[in-house]
Amino acid sequence: MSEPSGIGRQRIQFAIFFFIVAAIGALFLNQPWQNNGSQTSSNPTENQSQPAETNSTVDVSTTGTAPEGELIVTPVSLGNADAPVLIEEYSDFQCLICRRYVTTLKDLVNENFVDTGMIQVKFHHYIKYGEESILAGQAAECANEQGKFWQYHRTLYDNQKGVNRGSFTNDSLRMFAAQLELDTDAFDTCLSSDKYRAKVERDTADGKARGVNNTPTFVVDGKVIGNVTSVDLFREIIEKAMND
């Protein structure tokens, strides 16, 4: 059999090249990352955990009561109980966006709206990231027994190193208590008892029943607002609530 002519060889080479390109394209199109973004990373990033800012509201009512025999704990609050507007905050101590809010906006919100008597703030746990979050939530409740919830709350966010990276262990949580000059024996007894676990989990379940699905989420006078990213937007929402 005679060898292909120069033109014939070029045609064969072109056909092989076309077949290889087509095969690679088919392989690429069948990869999971082409699934319209329906799959997410097992280690959530800051961008994945941030809810879209919105001014839309959903009417909700407070739900959930403690089962018989379970410890009943009043939500920790800031401000005057007679303030015209109630803002409820749902947060996870491992949430990166929650950390941003606490370290950049919370003091300004307190100064502008809590200290001036416009709002009362109540804190609720909303567990997104598992056992470290639950343990940190229980530790904050134990600190609350000694009147230092908000100091411990800030310490947790200041020491957050991302999601499920070992930021919150029994040892580190006890160390934070010592740094805040809590009675460490009482704190250790409280934390090891696991007595606030049900409270932390119930907060989360109640939040879901109210329509909360991300952190941080703010509920203003019973209406789910979502995340709020500026003092000006807080002011707009608060003034609207006061005028409703």
- % of the chain beyond a pLDDT of 70: 70
Total of domains in the chain: 2
Based on the fold, state whether residues 188 and 232 are members of the same structural domain. yes
* CATH code assigned at 58: 3.40.30.10
The answer on pLDDT for 118 being more than 80 is yes
Tell me which of 1-5, 38-42, 116-120 is least confident: 38-42
Side-chain half-sphere CA neighbours of 55 within 13 A: 10
Rounded Cα distance, 83 and 120, in Å: 6
Based on the fold, state whether residues 144 and 217 are members of the same structural domain. yes
Based on the fold, state whether residues 83 and 101 are members of the same structural domain. yes
The residue among 242, 238, 243, 244 whose CA lies nearest residue 87 is 238
Based on the fold, state whether residues 82 and 19 are members of the same structural domain. no
Based on the fold, state whether residues 83 and 4 are members of the same structural domain. no
Side-chain half-sphere CA neighbours of 75 within 13 A: 25
Dihedral-angle region of residue 190 (phi above 0 means left; psi in -120 to 50 means alpha; beta otherwise): alpha
Based on the fold, state whether residues 195 and 135 are members of the same structural domain. yes
Extended beta strands in the chain, E state? 58-59, 77-78, 85-91, 119-125, 217-220, 223-226
pLDDT of residue 72: 54
Based on the fold, state whether residues 124 and 86 are members of the same structural domain. yes
129 membership: H or E segment, kind and range: none
pLDDT digits (tens, 9 = 90+) for 152-194: 999 999 999 889 988 999 999 999 999 999 999 999 999 999 9
Across the range 77-95, mean pLDDT stands at 97
Around Cβ 169, how many Cβ atoms within 10 Å? Answer: 12
Torsion of CA 217, 220, 225, 231, to 10 degrees: -80
DSSP state of 110: I
Based on the fold, state whether residues 1 and 69 are members of the same structural domain. no
pLDDT of residue 217: 98
Q: Six-digit token pair at 165? A: 């990276």
Query: Residue 208's domain spans which residues?
Result: 46-243
Higher pLDDT, 51 or 229: 229
pLDDT digits (tens, 9 = 90+) for 137-151: 999 999 999 999 999
- Please, which pLDDT band fits residue 244 given cuts at 50, 70 and 90? confident
Tell me which of 67-81, 118-132, 165-179 is least confident: 67-81
